Amino acid sequence: MANIKVFLADDHQVFREGIRLLLERVADIEVVGEADDGAQTVSRVGQLLPDVVLMDITMPGLNGLEATRQIKQSYPQVKVLILTMHETDQYLSEMLEVGVSGYVVKTTTSRELISAIRTVHQGDVYLYPSIARMLVGDYLQRVKSGEEKTSYDGLTPREREILRYIAEDLQNREIARRLGISVRTVQTHRTNLMEKLGAHDRTQLVKYAIQKGIIKL
């Protein structure tokens, strides 16, 4: 199996060097490049096409979120994992909008960082526990205020059920077995979900399911 190609984007050289040394000791991860500002990150990612970008939010010039937006627009297959000092909900909604695949704070352990890289590379979403709690708290607040009562973007009850199973990482065959329907029917519902939600991959479906409270973290 090919190594996970990782790109480092952070304006602190000492921090980048530390992360590079850490990741170079991991057998299935390869650091292919680095940058210290957002514009350079976008340019270098276009040249190198890494699997995962470790992205700081507060970089000079183009910040990490705008750099992420540009990367996801041009190279949607590249996964972006936010790695920052900001353990706050200030950026949560914007992160989901620009298409990040995960959020880890710099105080995390090396084991958790490596796990996060592998998780987003596989197409899943990784949220640092405190960030996950903030996201759920924000959703519950919106439910309490009435904002989320009927906002399911036209999804049918069956589509919401299948979305929940997709978000829980069940394969089409297993979903079909649980619901007593054919695999082809599951595939049709899956296609309809992607079209209704404007989703391009499973990661975006998972983010939607979290936002709407269809699945719990």
User: pLDDT for 133-169, tens place per residue?
Assistant: 555 555 545 555 555 444 456 677 788 888 888 888 7
CA distances in angstroms from 99 to 46, 122, 202, 214, listed in the order given: 17, 15, 12, 19
Q: How many domains does the chain have?
A: 2
- The answer on 154 and 109 residing in a single domain is no
Whole domain around residue 110: which residue ranges?
4-135
Instruction: Assess if residue 140 is contained within a domain.
Output: no
Q: What is the CATH number of the domain that holds 162?
A: 1.10.10.10
Measured CA distances, 126 to 24, 34, 79, 211 (Å): 21, 22, 11, 14
**Which one has a higher pLDDT value, 196 or 139?**
196
Q: Is the domain of 125 the same as that of 155?
A: no
Range with top average pLDDT, 33-42, 62-71, 121-130: 33-42
Among residues 74, 67, 6, the alpha carbon closest in space to that of 34 is found at 6
Under DSSP, the state recorded for 108 is S
187 with 93, same domain: the answer is: no
* In a shared domain, residues 105 and 181: no
pLDDT at 36 over 80: yes
160 lies in the same domain as 113 = no
Higher pLDDT, 145 or 187: 187
Q: What is the mean pLDDT of the chain?
A: 82
Quote the CA–CA distance of 101 and 82 in Å, as a whole number. Answer: 8
Say whether pLDDT at 8 is over 50: yes
24 within domain boundaries: yes
Beta bridge partners of 52: 6, 79
Instruction: Identify the residue with better confidence: 118 or 128.
Output: 118
Q: Are residues 83 and 157 in the same domain?
A: no
Same domain, 199 and 162: yes
- Coil, strand or helix at 10: coil
Rounded distance between C-alpha atoms, residue 65 and residue 209, angstroms: 22
Say how far apart CA 50 and CA 53 lie, in whole Å: 7
Enter the pTM of the model: 0.64
Is the distance from CB of 9 to CB of 59 less than 8 angstroms?
A: yes
